[in-house]
Structure 1
Amino acid sequence: MRRVQSIGVAVALTLGLAATGPSISFAKANFGAAQSASFSVGTQYDTTHVYVAPENFDKFTDSFVATFGGHKSQQGVFQVTPTPSQTMSQLVFTPVGTISVFGFKTPVPHPFGDERTGYLVTDMDGAVKSAKAHGADVVVDAFPDPIGRDAVIAWPGGVHMQLYWHTQAPNYEPLETVPENRVYVSPGRADALIKNWVAFSNGKILSDNRRAPGVQIGRPYDTFRLVRLTSGFGNMAVFVTDGHLPYPYGHETTGYEVKDFDDTLKKAQAAGVVVLAKAFKADRRESAIVQFPGGYIAEIHAIEE
């Protein structure tokens, strides 16, 4: 089972953990025309989920906060799937992105564990219908949780994600920087993924570099295609490769943008984080790939001014 997944923020909110201010009703919220069209709410509600063994749960969350700052919600044990299961669950709020952490005490029901991100939507039925119209497969039909509904979809290229909806919207502080969903796909499926995701999300292509420096995938003497997208759901980097990827490239599902790269790496290493791919510069950024206690692999980068 892959360690880094997404089930959606929905269940963690069942604990009443997440609000940093008064909740607001979706019916009254003014998200703007573009966000309504794409069903998105805000990047602070888009999460990567991290699966860790229960014995590593606190070590991981402590190291994540020590690296990026922020705070943790109350911790609890829930059923987060439509069939019986039990998992420890906690939200971690940081200025560079929100994550949900799960430590399953029971086996994980299939197909949970394949989805990488969770996106809060304004209308579950409308979002699922739109996703299907834009080439997505519904791998877990919408199911109820105590405060809303959830569904899992898969895009061309095998990119799984969860959509979730609440009767009362949470209210989180905006992020300082928006994390990057890092997607690795084959050349045969890349265009279908990009076209359909941009249409579904009401997003746009920021850049499409067909000769991006290969150092970004651990192959410094090669080039590859790198497409950067943005939408109300946040940023996505699509790495179009032949799949010949040296470790740990492809294991990192999220990239975190920080203001001070060197200081962040120092904090990370002091918190027990291991640098798997040493710092390198490309595409106007300095980057490294790291592994947190418990096994979560992520990319950290700073944009050059």
Structure 2
Amino acid sequence: MALILISTALLALGSLARAAVAMPNLAVGPQYVTTHVYVAPRDIDRFVESFVTTFGGTATKKQLVNVTPTPSTTEWRAVASPVGALSVFGFTTPYPWPFGAERNGFLVSDFDAAVKAAHANGAGFLTAPFEDPIGRDAVIQWPGGVNMQIYWHKKAPHSPALAAIPENRVYVAPEQADAFIRAYLAFSQGKVIKDDRKAPGIEIGEPFNIFRRVLIDSGFGKTLVFATDGQMPYPWGRETTGYEVKDLDATILKAEAAGVYVRVEPINAAGRLTSFFEFPGGYTAEVHTAAP
């Protein structure tokens, strides 16, 4: 009887292993992970120009579209830069929930498989799958309250590789960090690069505290998880993306000339010089370079 039970257990483990290997790689590439930026329509052009001036890249012309499953209208521009892509929305109508609360969009190679994988790994669907003019979309929520979009295009886009892969910066409660990490790793087929449970709090504006900092890498790019007590000063926690540059001082000069406000002057933390920029329209981003 014991041998039968052991054999059954081994067969079950083998099936799970085969299932894990057989799961498709859903990521298309980090250059297709778009940070979602919501600004007032009057600010959309100023924001896009300041971002491109700061980091380089190109932007599409402004279009008036409906990107939600219910009636709404937004001015929209896409930005492709060497440090990451953006989808910029300036809604001319109120935008329906949960739009505006999602941090970014992940292009997936197989939309139905992505929906199945998200369900299987604990994601809730804030917006059920729907069609847009060029593909399909859904807004999902991971354990810990992390909202994001998955999307697929009927015509596959083609974008060059990035000069530097941006960080998807995620803040979660300490007691929910493991649940988020497990779910996200399974969905993204990523791996933990570093799990520091005593990271210096200066990196999140709490110089006399410590926190848990987890770096994940996957086909969707870098994800940096901050498990904190939530008692951080502004603007920590407001940023969704961190951008890597070669020369932070030179980037600050370009940003300020473009009307960007440097919220946090460069500080040395976690082996990098890090700063926070606030762009016209209110978009806040972390910007960093390797420390000397």
TM-score of the superposition, structure 2-length normalised?
Answer: 0.91
Q: Matched residues in 2 for 1:238 and 1:133: separation?
A: 21
Which residue of structure 1 lines up, in the alignment, with residue 220 of structure 2? 233
Distance 1:283 1:54, change over 3 A: same
Which residue of structure 1 lines up, in the alignment, with residue 42 of structure 2? 55
Q: Which consecutive unaligned segments of at least 5 residues does structure 2 have?
A: 1-19
1:86 counterpart (73, 76, 100): 73
Whose relative contact order is higher, 1 or 2, with alpha carbons under 8 Å and at least 6 apart? 1
SS of alignment partner, residue 229 of structure 1: strand
Amino acid at match of 2:128: D
Mapping of 1:115-264 within 5 angstroms?
115-264=102-251
Aligned-pair RMSD on alpha carbons?
A: 1.5
Q: Matched residues in 1 for 2:144 and 2:111: separation?
A: 23
Deviation at 1:276, TM superposition (A): 1.0
Q: Which consecutive unaligned segments of at least 5 residues does structure 1 have?
A: 1-32
Deviation at 1:245, TM superposition (A): 1.1
Distance 1:53 1:156, change over 3 A: same
Which residue of structure 1 lines up, in the alignment, with residue 5 of structure 2? none
TM-score of the superposition, structure 1-length normalised?
Answer: 0.87
Count of aligned positions:
273
Q: Matched residues in 1 for 2:28 and 2:203: separation?
A: 31
Which residue of structure 2 lines up, in the alignment, with residue 283 of structure 1? 270
Amino acid at match of 2:193: L
Deviation at 1:124, TM superposition (A): 1.0
Q: Matched residues in 2 for 1:215 and 1:183: separation?
A: 17
**Contact 2:39–2:281 (CA under 8 A) maintained in structure 1:** yes
Deviation at 1:265, TM superposition (A): 0.9
SS of alignment partner, residue 189 of structure 1: helix
SS of alignment partner, residue 264 of structure 1: helix
Deviation at 1:125, TM superposition (A): 1.2
**Contact 1:45–1:98 (CA under 8 A) maintained in structure 2:** yes
Deviation at 1:114, TM superposition (A): 1.1
Q: Matched residues in 1 for 2:23 and 2:141: separation?
A: 22
Q: Matched residues in 2 for 1:218 and 1:37: separation?
A: 39
Q: Matched residues in 1 for 2:269 and 2:231: separation?
A: 20
**Contact 2:24–2:113 (CA under 8 A) maintained in structure 1:** no
Amino acid at match of 1:57: I
SS of alignment partner, residue 227 of structure 1: strand
Deviation at 1:303, TM superposition (A): 2.0
**Contact 1:85–1:107 (CA under 8 A) maintained in structure 2:** yes
2:287 is equivalent to residue 295 of structure 1: no
2:33 counterpart (46, 51, 55): 46
Deviations 1:60-100 (A, max 9, x none): 11100110011111211000000000000000111000001
Deviation at 1:304, TM superposition (A): 3.5
2:31 is equivalent to residue 37 of structure 1: no
Identity %: 55
Deviations 1:169-194 (A, max 9, x none): 10001100001011100011000001
Q: Matched residues in 2 for 1:284 and 1:81: separation?
A: 41
Deviations 1:262-297 (A, max 9, x none): 111111111111111121011111100110011000
SS of alignment partner, residue 37 of structure 1: coil
Q: Matched residues in 2 for 1:213 and 1:273: separation?
A: 28
Which residue of structure 1 lines up, in the alignment, with residue 7 of structure 2? none
